[in-house]
Chain A
């Protein structure tokens, strides 16, 4: 037994808000009607649904439905709906959107939600115009139409919404007109049941702001046009318009509306949804975590502050120390500075690390300072002069040597960095790249060699603290090489120069 309009209204509408704001002859109400019939036939409680819309005539329909309804900002219905669906997968989320809302201002959200395959049913009410603002050209306005924004003709090429959705990968795409209410209702039912982002485009009359300027003054004119010119997608074959407003006319044609409206089911397929794929990501994260591996472990942390295994800092260390690491991007200067700071914190000292680098990920100088204090926090995180400078490349020495205090300690690789003899009171040579090759077979751990040497020479804390921090912060497969590098640096006895 078919439900009557009266019954639909009682059951599903906020009757206190009626009559609606829609103009005589407007097709938006028809789409509301057929959507509620689809919902009624499916039989799920209305509390299972959330209805989400953007801005425009078609987006006002959600406000009339007696359910959880979210009338959002222009073009943004889909991202709001995405947040709703992903955090409560139990909800059946239905989006109402118009042509301007969905493929104009919201076009980017539309194609990306399809790409992501968020489980939403998107009902597109395509009335070929910005109706609420008075009928300006929209992304689906047919070629050859007259509008108040383009009274001398429309230079825009229209989008084919259904084919756009199909091309972006939507698992269900259909297009109908309000002259096909039963077919459209059945497509909305399929869309609600389909897992993934389904799109049902319904061509709707807008006699008031679009039609009357374009020889379609009444809903009847529109429906005659819809019925006389629609062709089923299965029959259209190669003839189907690449774009149907574009479903209506090829660019440059002035022959509209004497063209085909291609209707029917474009796509009915299966594709994994974002939720399904994300659930696997969550599972992988958990499995990796349980094995103590993967990107979630180890965390960049030190031990609990009251941990018994905290190393004791050098008892004499009560002052402040400013250390700068500099290398080319990719040489690990910032990592070495982090390891020094983390070890200092682990040893019960205060440390602050800053870094600076350009937009280039590789090749240019990357600098990181660590300020260590044995007597309370360091406030201003930049030093006027450096107590120690580690140079992993010639550029670094050239750029930063002026920052070093007269009695500051310079650490450098004599095989890659040239330092004038006698220039510095305290210069420590450590062949970091060569020792790194010995430790790891490649110079990639030269930063850790230099770090080991620096901590040993400055006597900040013991080797074990440094090794703990290194092993905690490098990927499991590189721990052995890094520990070896630390030890080689720590034990290296350079010839004193200067």
Chain B
């Protein structure tokens, strides 16, 4: 794109952002992270509280010679991003709940066709239009199960502006490495608050590329795996090359031929789509621990709630709380880090899920704590943050009643 008399003298993302400190919002940090991860295509539709990602990409992609389209809706936005991905271009879209609902159809298509793409969902209150300017964490299960059918999902959740940048980079790496859409799940509070953001030099950012095709055309089958290594991720060609790939959302065999009535083909395909994620659970599971060795009560949280919990942990360390509080901060939500939950459940008296929803995360905490400790939830909806006092003196609601 951008052919013209001034070609060849374009700045790089490193010229614009590298090796500098910003007082940036979470949304800006995601856009900077995407650009530093060499994302060169963005399509989106304006929606509060995600719009600044679109605006920031629209500001910089033309300068960097990338592709930017403000589409007619979110359905088209994710479709454009997937189309771009098949030209070998790292691509992204960003939205909030109502738009994320519209994207579910093509999110499933990206899973089925194993198309790398990054989808940002800046959560706001729902259902429906809800509270557009307010933060929420009600899309926890939508990010996992929003699209129909059996599938694995990869969902990352930053807990600060810096992590918004860092995990945007990771999202692109995971998407390419595992040939899958990756959802970056943030929220309206994190999206709009500003913090210091340190952008490293691009040379210090690890970028993991997708595996190109290594096999001759005659032997190549687009969805066969294990040509060069024991991986369940197929090698990926690009459009316009010699390989003549067929992509379809229909159940397809290794040769990409639709095979919609053979139970074996379907079972093998779906199993592999699961396995390529689940087998790499260790690589995909990102989390941070704070004061976990000393604590009696372990808080479990992601996103903006991490900040509320860190305040409690800091108070605890300063001796200002009756009990010792620790925090398990989940950066990977899906695949759910069940081993980490289980290990902590063996050691602590109580786990408390802190969330801006009517009790969603707590169900997974309960499931994988396996009855080894008490599980409670601090649940808050309406758009305000959970305060440290609300964690220290929770209004206990047995979470079974939340479902």
Chain A residues at the B interface, C-beta cutoff of 8 Å: 14, 16-17, 46-48, 50, 52, 62-63, 66-73, 76, 78-91, 108-109, 112, 116, 274-275, 278-287, 289-290, 295-296, 299-305, 338, 341-342, 344-346, 350-359, 377, 379-382
Does B367 touch A at the CB level, under 8 Å? no
Q: Which 3 A-B pairs have the closest CB atoms?
A: A83-B83, A282-B2, A79-B79
A302 and B21 form a contact (CB under 8 A): yes
Could you tell me the distance in whole angstroms from the C-beta of A266 to the nearest C-beta in chain B? 23
Q: Which B residues have a C-beta under 8 Å from some C-beta of A?
A: 1-6, 9-11, 16-17, 19-24, 28, 40-41, 43, 59-60, 62-63, 65, 67-69, 71-73, 75-77, 79-87, 89, 91, 105-106, 109, 132-133, 189, 192-196, 198, 239-250, 257-258, 307-308, 310-311, 314, 385, 387-388
Instruction: Given A282-B2, A301-B21, A302-B22, decide whether A76 and B307 contact each other with a Cβ distance below 8 A.
Output: no
**CB–CB A286/B9 < 8 A:** yes
Q: Are A84 and B86 in contact (CB under 8 A)?
A: yes
Q: Are B65 and A282 in contact (CB under 8 A)?
A: yes
In angstroms, Cα B240 to Cα A48, docked, is 6
Given A69-B246, A84-B84, A300-B22, residue A380 in contact with residue B387 (CB < 8 A): yes
Set of chain B residues within 8 Å of A301, measured between Cβ atoms = 17, 20-24
Name 11 A/B residue pairs within 8 A (Cβ), A-sorted. A63-B246, A68-B239, A79-B76, A82-B76, A86-B69, A87-B41, A109-B75, A112-B76, A283-B6, A304-B20, A357-B133
- Closest CB in chain B relative to A163 CB, distance in Å: 20
Interface of B is mostly: mixed
Q: Closest residue of chain A to B304, judged by CB?
A: A381
Residues of A with C-beta under 8 A to B19 = 304
* Cβ B80 vs Cβ A83 within 8 A: yes
Note all chain A residues with C-beta closer than 8 A to B4.
279-280, 282-283
Are A112 and B21 closer than 8 Å at their CB atoms? no
Cross-chain contact of B79 among A17, A66, A72 (Cβ < 8 A): A72
Residues of B within 8 A of A295 (CB): 59
Q: Give the distance to chain A from B215, nearest Cβ to Cβ, in Å.
A: 17
The reply to whether B63 and A300 contact each other, CB–CB distance below 8 Å, is no
How far apart are the CA atoms of A329 and B62 in the complex, in Å? 31
For B87, list chain A residues within 8 Å (CB). Answer: 84, 87-88, 91
Instruction: Please give me the residue from chain B that is nearest to A305 by CB atom.
Output: B21
> Are B240's CB and A73's CB within 8 A?
no
Q: Evaluate contact between A68 and B245: CB separation under 8 angstroms.
A: yes
Min CB distance A341 to B, Å, is 5
How far, in Å, is A83 (CB) from chain B's closest CB?
A: 2
Say how far A196's CB is from chain B's closest CB, in angstroms.
16
Residues from chain B with a CB closer than 8 A to the CB of A62 are 246
Residues of B within 8 A of A382 (CB): 385, 387
**Residue from A83, A350, A351 having most chain B Cβ neighbours under 10 A:** A83
Q: Which residue of the partner chain, among B67, B75, B245, B246, contacts A76 with CB atoms under 8 Å?
A: B75
Contact between B385 and A381, CB atoms less than 8 A apart: yes
Which of B24, B85, B198, B239 has its CB near the most chain A CB atoms (within 10 A)? Answer: B239
- Let me know if B83 and A81 touch, CB within 8 A: yes
Contact of B23 among A76, A296, A351 (CB under 8 A): A351
For residue B383, which residue of chain A has the nearest CB? A356
CB-defined contacts of B308 to chain A, threshold 8 Å: 379-380
Given known A84-B86, A305-B198, contact A379–B133 (CB-CB < 8 A): no
Residue in A62, A84, A305 with the greatest tally of chain B CB atoms within 10 Å: A84
